[in-house]
Structure 1
Amino acid sequence: MPDNTPFPSYGDWLTAHDDATLVDLLWRMRAIHGRTFTADVAALRQLDARSLAVLHGLARAGAAHHPVDASSLSDALTSLFDEAGTPATGRPTTAEIPEVLRSLAHRGLAYGPGLHIDNAPTGDDGPDPFPVAIPGDLQGFFTGTTDLPWALVDGYRCPVPTVDLPDVLAELPDRQRRLLDTLATAGGIGHSASLDDPERPLARMIAAGLLDRVDAETARLSPRVGAVIACRVTPDPGGDFTTPEPVPVTDRADGAGVARAVETLRQVTELLTVLGTAPLRPLGGGGVGVREITRVAKATETTTDEVTGTLLLCRHADLIGPGLPVPAPEVDTAGPDGEVWGVTDRGAEFLAAGMARRWALLLSGWSTSPHSPWEMAETGTHLLQDSLDHPTTAALRELTAELVTVLGPTQDAPDDAHDAAVQLWRLRPSLAAKTPTQAVAGVLAEAEALGLRADGQSTSAAVALASDAPADALTTALTGVLPAPVSMLIIQADMTVLAPGLLAPDDEAMLRAIADVESTGMASVWRISPESLKRAAAAGETADRVRGFLAGMAPEIPQGLDYLINDAFRSSGAMTAGTASTILTAPDEATLTSALTMLASLSDGEVRDAALRRIAPTVAVSRTQLSRVVSLLEDAGVRVGVDGDAAATTHGPVLSLVPDPRRPSVSREEVEDQLAGTVEGLRRTRQAVSDAEDPEGTDLPDVETVRDPHQIMATLRSAYDRGTRVEISYVNADGSAVQEWISVVTMSPVSIVGVTESDGVSLRIQPHRIAWVAAPV
């Protein structure tokens, strides 16, 4: 930056960008409900260890109060890494710092004339980012007594190796261990006048590295020790603040991953097929009991453990969910309120899709699931219960694909868990700081079942999922991983059918409709029987279609199978309608096509009311009441015969479905106006500051306003440490709103003592009465 170029305030730097850039910044930071632009802890939660280290270095160098140069930042980082005991191999290089600063600017966490929010260049490209500053409210996040230990480089300073920490803690005298446990549950900060007395417990634990000394009378529980006490993933001493590199994918890992994924997809398909006609009966308090799991295990001829694992994958991907089934299932398993755990609309899409699409649906749903089944044993919670849902688990699964791509192969589980913990701390310290060890073990096991990892190595599927591609792009990527489908079948005289490889989606669907699977994998074996053919006939298939399919896939059809097909499809009926919702069956494909075409001649509203959905060449279903559908069909000129007894059950393989579960989410379109309003408010405020002058003719101070209670206390603490004034809005004892510029004299968790700038009056304010605080930038 040229010497004569003034360094901008944070507000001026922001408003130098156009509205679209600022709206995009707010959306990426998910600052949807804020009224001002202030750096928030939520933004820090998105950073990797390297970026947090540089941000901590900027805070130590004073960048919250004045711009700093490269030398000052380098000195601050060296000091921090020395305190933490970070090895040279775990420190970012000087050449990496500009790229990190540009990344921080892209998130609005660092600013200066050489930095921009949009189109931030990487590597050696672009202008010199120095001098650089950070928003003033970030300072409080990096004080020695912050309750955000993941934000501190020196939080890694405990020198005890991770593998030895549990034994070291177990061998402590009872009094010292009780002190550590108390600190762990009380925020990690302790105060004592005896920290210099080597005979006192606190001093001894400081000497052992279990406590960090903050000042003469303040000690802090080492975050690494706190993680072990709480059974959370723990980084190595000193930490690693470099960026992990992805491990190359091998053909062997890809092959093993595909084989495992194909088997998982088969299990999911079979389970959904069973639940489509016989859903799970929920327990009174939610979830599913052992009796239902046992029933499904018998139906699928698997173990209860296998059913449990597959059910959980279906739950993660929203392929099953609680709700009222439509149409009513063949097997009545409803609870007292009529609800079941059944196949969702998304689950029906899964069953109708090809292999790659099924894999994509399973992966994309699983990667955002908040369900934490590993907590069942500790909490006594039932399988699938909603109380096991946690946002932290969803964030962990969302990062798991990227995590497995940087994990190297290990030979035993303890080393694998340790490597995963270290890499998680490098990728997302904020997440690692609150992730239980059992959660990491759980998601890694799921990643193996889903084909994201095989033999301890990542696969191409993990790389595709980590790229955060849309569902269609993910499907395309997975199609390239799967082997090409085969277009032939080998039919034996005993009515078994061998598929020597994966089948195309339509071929697999047809084979599943007319046969029962006996073994699966990359190749599969099926058996055609009178029962399977009758099931196909009930679903609307015809003898000609079945015979044509088999003739097109196999060199010849055994004579015995030809007779079997003729016998099974000997009878056929007119178009009929069942009840519950509506099921239409036609004698042939053309009849149903003609009926649906005639229905389309009605108004759009009437067509939507009918809501007929074709599920087979001669079968259509609707969630609309039978009488309404029949009436609409007759209005369109279609003659329909209603099946006699009006039994409220499905016929054949028609699935009973429940609606997709609703996960809380906000789209950008929904909040675009809010984001634009925040940007407009920022510009109006900046204009008011620019236009107004104080009596001496100087501009009003450029301020940052905070309203979050944590940020308010951090801002007041920063003002107290720096000796600067702040503007404060609070409610006094009379219930009146007061707004004053004050200097903070003393502060504690229960009261703030300050002196007003205008008349020097002393004030004592309780923190809960404070509405907002504005500090000069």
Structure 2
Amino acid sequence: MSGTTLADWLRAQDDAALVALLRARPDLATPPPADMSVLATRVGTRASIARACEDLDTFTLAVLEALVVQGGDSEPVALATLTQVLGPDVKPRPLKQAVARLRSFALAWGDDDALSVPPVTREAFGAHPGGLGRRTGQTYDLGGITEGEQRVLQKLAAGPPIGDTKDASRVVPLEKAETPVQRLLARGLLLRRDPGTVELPREIGLALRGERPLGPIQVTEPKPKTAVLPQNGIDATGGGEALELVRHVENLITSWSAEPPPVLRTGGLGVRDLRKVAKDLGVDEQRAALLIELVVGADLVANTEATEPEWVPTTKADVWLAATAEVRWATVAHAWLELPRLPALIGRRDEKDKLFTPLADEIRRAQAPRDRRWVLDTLAAFPKGTAISNPADLAALLGWRAPRRGGRQRDELVRWTVEEGTAVGVLALGAITTAGRVLLDEGPGHAAKTLGDALPAPLDHVLVQADLTVVAPGRLEPDLADEMALVANVESAGSATVYRISEATVRRALDAGRTADELQELFKIRSRTPVPQSLSYLIDDAARRHGRLRGGAAGSFLRCDDPVLISEVLAHPEAARLELRRIAPTVVVSPLPLADVLDGLRSAGFAPAAEGPDGQVLDLRPGGRRTTPRQRTARKPVSPAVPADERLGEFVRLVRAGDRAAATPRGERVAVPGNLGAGPSATLSLLQQAARARRRVLVGFVDSHGTAAQRVIEPHVVGGGVLEGYDHSYGEVLRFPLHRVTSAALVDED
């Protein structure tokens, strides 16, 4: 049986089919192939076939393997013979659909009675496709074999078909054979590969395996157990997670502004610093690790790369902190989507028992963004509101759709993506949120607006409780949120945030310049519940004692209208450490910075306040350290980008033009030797002839970067060392120095 060559089969395909091929396998178009023979060669390369197989589902891969088992890599096979390998469960319709898909990938070509596959396809299935040995083309008689011989054959038939044995050292006649292996070798039912190895012929393996030689084959994809939930409920839950994420990131930036953790000598962040972040934020270590990876991935924190490097917030963090909650979320969520790392590995150990730590190079995975999108795109393909509660069901679905993608950790990758996506607010209740769907399709800008529309309007009020707690029943307006963060500490967060007010938090607000009257007015206006007397008393009492001591820069000074209080301060043991010295009955000075003096007095139980030159209370809270954002390098894509269909169509036209040029009579095709200045006279004559006749020319040239390329142009001007012509495909006029032209051929248009 003979079949057409791959190049001829490709030539017979229409342009739409070739565009679909280049879209499915974009590596074939990089760089654009010169003609159909070049394209056919690329189709059959080992790396390209392996990459294409990553996009095939389980059943289509089984059909491709069956083609290899039947010898389609050496001679054409009929479609009908595939059922001998695939088994009776495979019906004609899905089989034809799978073969059509293989043809669309150019992994198989030819008519149904003469299907072929590229020769190196066999290597995509390991040394023994289907777990079967070499084909011999012989017919074997298995009658009369003993029970021992049957066991040997059955074991090799199950795969692999190779067995190690001492009995293969030499082949003896049947009458002298003593062991099952020797007898099988003597009868030709085993093949001797070398003195210690035997192989079972493929024909015998197929016969012994029965009617399903490749085992059970799942023709259709598994159906995960799903539930339909209200989309607004999914969005509300995801919105709550998004706000929680923003709050945690904000607190992490604030914490590291004041106390940046050191960078380990090996890179990354130490375990103790990870535990401190988890404790400060009130989250588990896995969540803390994810947050750390996100703030660095979003360029909100960076390595200072100094002599003693630290992880310090960048100047971008200030822009982020000033943005709205939805914009802050979109920035972090997009950073997670594009993060080339696997945060879920943190806390695990590698094969050498080395612990994976946050921000370490060991958890970098270039394919992580691609795999993350793969999982999310699958969820987004379900109708809105469809939830898959069990990640194992989703992993089974993805495992069937692309069994060669994701590696050994595929199922874990699915679970990690679902867990992290839920923590980030892209997923909720096992379904994708509307904002998450927009993030995938349209980017962070549109996703921020979508989240803002889904979130309830910010509240302008709180509920003050008698136990000095304040409940925010939802997201607060930015100015109110800032005031509450100043005067109270967050005790618990979620859909409702609970704040705790104490003397220390009231004093913090007073230190920042708020007055007692302003704090009383804040709760009076903003609280929907009556302000308890205990809170009013607390504010008034703290304000009464606050600021009786006044500090300024001398180094620094303290002043007080009450000389007795000054004497009390000087009598305290802390006064010696602060080097306090009385210069007047109501004035004390120190050479230390004012902030250090005030902190020392507060730790001693006093309540001083800082004042500025105008006598008003001065906020001395540190603004936090900042570093310059690192210069980001463009992330190299794991797989080639897919050009637009218009561009692919141009590649197809270029390939066909190359074919026509190759078929042009010899006298109308000129190759230009290098270093010939304006080019030989034959080239000039050919190009000038094309210009006069308005014919198109396939021009091969080397650009200024040394890259070889080809374009089909219509010459307008040929002379003065320059070729100028119009490229109809790109709609532009091109100029080529003739010394860069490497080949030229007239092209006859169809």
Q: Does 1:277 align with 2:247?
A: no
Matched, 1:449 2:423: yes
Aligned-partner Cα distance in 2 for 1:359–1:236: 49
> Is 1:427 matched up with 2:405?
no
Secondary structure of the residue aligned to 2:474 is coil
Q: Does 1:387 align with 2:359?
A: no
Work out which of the residue numbers 288, 294, 298 in structure 2 matches 1:318.
Answer: 298
Change (3 A) 1:453 1:666: closer
**Secondary structure, aligned partner of 1:377:** coil
Aligned to 1:374: 345
Q: Hey, what's the Cα distance between the residues in 2 that align with 1:279 and 1:273?
A: 10
**What amino acid is the match of 1:686?**
D
**Cα deviation, residue 96, structure 1:** 8.9
Counterpart of 1:81 in structure 2 is 86
1:189 to 1:213, Cα distance in 2 relative to 1, 3 A: closer
Q: Distance in 2 between matches of 1:320 and 1:540?
A: 29
- Please show how residues 613-762 of structure 1 align to structure 2 within 5 Å: 652-654=622-624, 656-659=626-629, 662=632, 664-665=634-635, 682=655, 685-692=658-665
Change (3 A) 1:565 1:92: farther
Which whole-Å CA distance do the structure 1 matches of 2:498 and 2:443 have between them? 34
Task: State how far apart, in whole Å, the 2-side matches of 1:246 and 1:92 are.
Answer: 28
Larger Rg: 2
Q: Quick one: percent identity of the two aligned structures?
A: 21
Describe the shift of the 1:441–1:652 C-alpha distance in structure 2 as closer, same or farther (beyond 3 A).
same
User: Given that residues 81 and 238 in structure 1 are in contact (C-alpha distance below 8 angstroms), is that contact kept between their aligned partners in structure 2?
Assistant: yes
CA apart distance, 1:522 = 0.2
User: Which amino acid in structure 1 is aligned with residue 54 of structure 2?
Assistant: R
Q: 1:299 to 1:144 in 2, by over 3 A?
A: closer
Q: CA RMSD in A?
A: 6.2
SS at match of 2:404: helix
Query: Corresponding residue for 1:715?
Result: none
Matched residue, 2:249: 268
- CA distance in 2 between counterparts of 1:468 and 1:270 reads 30
Deviations 1:284-343 (A, max 9, x none): 01111123234434544556565345434545x53555422xxxxxxxxxx763432233
Give 1:330-349 correspondences, 5 Å limit: 337-344=307-314
Q: Which runs of 5+ in 1 are unaligned?
A: 1-5, 113-129, 157-175, 205-210, 223-234, 325-334, 411-415, 572-642, 644-649, 695-777
Q: State the distance in 1 between where 2:300 and 2:280 align.
A: 17
- Asked if the contact 1:47/1:428 (under 8 Å) is kept, the reply is yes
Equivalent residues in 2 for 1:84-123 (5 A)? Answer: 94=94, 97=97, 101=100, 105=104
1:377 Cα deviation from its structure 2 partner:
1.6
Give 1:371 shift: 2.3
SS at match of 1:370: coil
Q: Deviations over 1:399-437 (max 9, x none)?
A: 232456789867xxxxx5753542221232221444365
TM-score w.r.t. structure 1 length?
A: 0.50
TM-score by length of 2: 0.52
Q: CA deviation at 1:283?
A: 0.8
1:50: Cα distance to partner? 5.2
Letter in 1 for 2:658: T
Call closer, same or farther: CA 1:258–1:537 in 2, change over 3 Å.
same
Cα distance, 1:525–1:15 mapped onto 2, change above 3 Å: same
- Partner letter of residue 664 of structure 2? D
Q: Hey, what does 2:671 align to over in structure 1? A: none
After TM superposition, give the deviation of residue 523 of structure 1 in Å: 0.6
Amino acid of the residue matched to residue 253 of structure 2?
Answer: L
Q: Does structure 2 conserve the Cα–Cα contact (< 8 Å) formed by 1:261 and 1:450?
A: yes
**Structure 1 residue 686 displacement after superposition:** 2.1
Residues 73 and 122, structure 2, Cα contact 8 Å, conserved in 1: no
Provide the C-alpha distance between the structure 2 equivalents of 1:307 and 1:401, rounded to a whole number of angstroms: 23
> C-alpha displacement at 1:274, in angstroms?
1.2
**Residue type of the partner of 1:377?**
R
Q: State the match for 1:25 in structure 2.
A: 23
Q: Does 1:215 align with 2:202?
A: yes
Equivalent residue for 2:596?
A: none
Query: How far off is 1:282 after superposition?
Result: 1.1
Matched letter for residue 46 of structure 1: D
| 2:510–2:543 contact (8 Å) kept in structure 1 | no
Task: Encode CA deviations 1:714-734: one digit per residue, 9 max, x unaligned.
Answer: xxxxxxxxxxxxxxxxxxxxx
- Could you tell me how far apart the structure 2 residues matched to 1:555 and 1:380 are? 55
- Can you give the 5+ residue segments of structure 2 that lack an aligned partner in the other structure? 133-151, 169-178, 191-197, 549-612, 614-619, 668-750
> Match of 1:276, as an amino acid?
S
CA distance in 1, matches of 2:28, 2:506: 54
The correspondence for 2:267, drawn from 260, 263, 286, is 286
User: Matches of residues 25-424 of structure 1 in structure 2 within 5 Å?
Assistant: 25=23, 29=27, 32=30, 37=39, 38-39=42-43, 40-41=48-49, 42-49=51-58, 52=61, 73=79, 75=80, 78-82=83-87, 94=94, 97=97, 101=100, 105=104, 139-140=118-119, 142-143=121-122, 146-147=125-126, 190=162, 215=202, 238-239=217-218, 241-242=220-221, 247-251=226-230, 259-260=240-241, 262-300=243-281, 304=285, 307-314=288-295, 317-318=297-298, 321-324=301-304, 337-344=307-314, 350-372=320-342, 373-374=344-345, 376-378=348-350, 379-384=353-358, 385-402=360-377, 419-424=393-398
Asked if structure 2 preserves the Cα contact closer than 8 Å seen for 1:249 and 1:460, the reply is no
2:520 matches 1:520: no
Alignment partners' CA distance in 1, 2:366 and 2:201:
32
Q: Indicate if the aligned counterparts of 1:64 and 1:133 stay in contact, CA closer than 8 A.
A: no
Letter in 2 for 1:268: V
1:58-106 Cα offsets, whole Å, 9 max, x none, are 77899989999xxx65x46645532xx9x66xx89549939x947974x
Figure out how many residues of one structure are paired with residues of the other and give that number: 515
1: distance between equivalents of 2:626 and 2:428? 35
User: Offset of 1:525 from its aligned partner?
Assistant: 1.9
Give distance in 1, aligned partners of 2:300 and 2:331.
Answer: 13
